[in-house]
Homo-oligomer: A and B are copies of this chain.
């Protein structure tokens, strides 16, 4: 097979990792890394400029996280590279039109395979990730509960959360309390940890 090369854009904030992956992919005869960016908010510009066939996005990046960046690129063939299995991320990614999702502890072969599949219009989901996403299911939190807990995770007090959401303090306490209950936690801190663990935050 000697068709044109698959043009790949790589977005990851860690230079060493990004360079290493680029080198690995460059060893594949049919893949070509045409551009690299280190910030989520540079992805859109780079896509317009280089018109890659497939975009590989890390989730954790400064400026804008990979999932948000993906949501701004409808129709683009994309693969999310996730540091660790937060099942909630997989749902958001699929909702954003991402067709490939693999954890960083997959092998390089797996990444190359995913790129080829996604470029051909197919899907590639890491089997373990998919399974754990099934197990974890949807977030049990309502919108309000998630917002309140999310602000609490930034260190905001009940009063500050109430102001930000235009609610009474009592209401905020109630949302936090029910979030704690739904997450099987006993206080704000364990609830935050549990929600972040699942990618529900």
Chain A residues engaging chain B, CB cutoff 8 angstroms: 13-17, 19-21, 23-24, 27, 38, 81, 83, 103-108, 110-111, 152-153, 155, 157, 185-190, 192-193
Contacts and interface: CB of A to CB of B under 8 A. Distances in A.
A97 to B, nearest CB: 23
Nearest to A25: B20
27 contacts: A13-B105, A14-B104, A15-B104, A15-B105, A16-B21, A16-B81, A16-B104, A16-B107, A17-B17, A17-B20, A17-B104, A19-B107, A20-B20, A23-B23, A23-B27, A23-B108, A38-B105, A152-B189, A153-B189, A155-B185, A155-B186, A155-B187, A155-B190, A155-B193, A157-B186, A189-B189, A189-B192
A28 B182 CA distance: 53
Nearest to A81: B16
Determine how many copies of this chain the complex contains: 2
A186 to B, nearest CB: 7
Most buried by B among A155, A187, A193: A155
Contacts of A188: 189
A113 to B, nearest CB: 12
Contacts of A105: 13-16, 38
A104 B104 CA distance: 14
A157 B107 contact: no
A14 B193 CA distance: 22
A193 B38 CA distance: 24
A5 to B, nearest CB: 20
